Amino acid sequence: MTASNFSLPDYLRRIGYSGETRPDLVTLTTLMSAQLQSVPFENTEVQAGRIPSMVPEEITTKIVTNGRGGYCYEVNGLFAMALTAIGFEWYFAGARPMFYPARRPKTHLVVIVTIDGENYLCDTGFGGYGLRQPIHIHDGEIAEQNGDRFRLELSNNEYVLSSLINDEWSLQYGFSLAAQEWIEFSLANYFNATHSDTIFTQKKLAVIQTPNGRKILLNDTLKIIENGSTDETIVDYAKAANEHFGLT
């Protein structure tokens, strides 16, 4: 995944990263955490009636140059550009959101990174209770990441990611290890941006992680989750989006 206007130094400045850039697990973990805490997951384009661009150059301009965020195709696409520039071995995979009441198609995009023969799930674009760091892809894997707990289980040839929320495991999405090309997600992007049955068309949302929690803005409700405690307030969406997520 490349773009003619992608600059690794510019990207690193955008996410506030100043560490080493080697294709190893330490760099991968720190890089993913830095992006999650600086680039918001948001659907402003969809709420404005537009279909987010999947042109790599336009994604770079939107997020790196203009300081915006995006949803999975955009933010994970940008993350993949950085992985390419650093020299990681990786590929895209499709994931099936599992928090809806009915079975869904694989409309979510994730990144699988291979280091020393081991696969790691990376995802900077799932929003609310998504991963904070890479997780080793292994049946029964449980990882604690900055106070959050995640689990991977193999079921019907798919790995299922769950998050521990209020002491209960909550399904997030399922995925296989089959690689998919970038262009294959163009239909999923159109579906998420236009179908009346997706959360992106139904609600205004923005999510960004903090060192000890996350901020979730859903319509006019702002949740600030820090160290396991949740503060929920009614806000003006536009003001909160600007103040907490840097969105105008």
pLDDT tens for the chain, 248 residues long, are 999 999 999 999 999 999 899 999 999 999 999 999 999 999 999 999 999 999 999 999 999 999 999 999 999 999 999 999 999 999 999 999 997 777 888 999 999 999 999 999 999 999 888 999 999 999 999 999 988 999 999 998 999 999 998 889 999 999 999 999 999 999 999 999 999 999 999 999 999 999 999 999 999 999 999 988 899 999 999 999 999 999 98
Q: Cβ(37)–Cβ(14) under 8 Å? A: no
Asked if residue 1 is part of any domain, the answer here is no
Nearest to 203 by CA among 218, 222, 223: 218
pLDDT of residue 121: 98
Nearest to 132 by CA among 153, 152, 148: 148
Asked if residue 240 is part of any domain, the answer here is no
Write down the pTM of the prediction. Answer: 0.96
Helix 8-15, helix 25-36: angle, nearest 10: 60
pLDDT of residue 166: 86
pLDDT of residue 161: 97
pLDDT of residue 248: 81
Asked if residue 147 is part of any domain, the answer here is yes
pLDDT of residue 216: 96
Asked if residue 228 is part of any domain, the answer here is no
Q: What is the CATH number of the domain that holds 112?
A: 3.30.2140.20
Q: For residues 110 and 136, what is the distance between their CA atoms, to the nearest angstrom?
A: 14
Asked if residue 230 is part of any domain, the answer here is no
Asked if residue 49 is part of any domain, the answer here is yes
Q: Which residues touch 208 (CB under 8 Å, ≥6 apart)? A: 36, 37, 38, 39, 40, 41, 69, 214, 215, 244, 245
State which residues form the domain around 62. Answer: 8-202
Total count of domains within the chain: 1
pLDDT of residue 228: 81
Q: What are the residue numbers of the active site?
A: 72, 108, 123
Asked if residue 194 is part of any domain, the answer here is yes
Strand segments (E) across the chain: 41-42, 89-97, 108-115, 118-122, 135-136, 141-145, 148-155, 158-165, 168-175, 205-210, 213-218, 221-226, 229-234
pLDDT of residue 127: 83
Q: For residues 93 and 177, what is the distance between their CA atoms, to the nearest angstrom?
A: 7
Asked if residue 114 is part of any domain, the answer here is yes
Kind of pairing between the strands at 168-175 and 205-210? unpaired
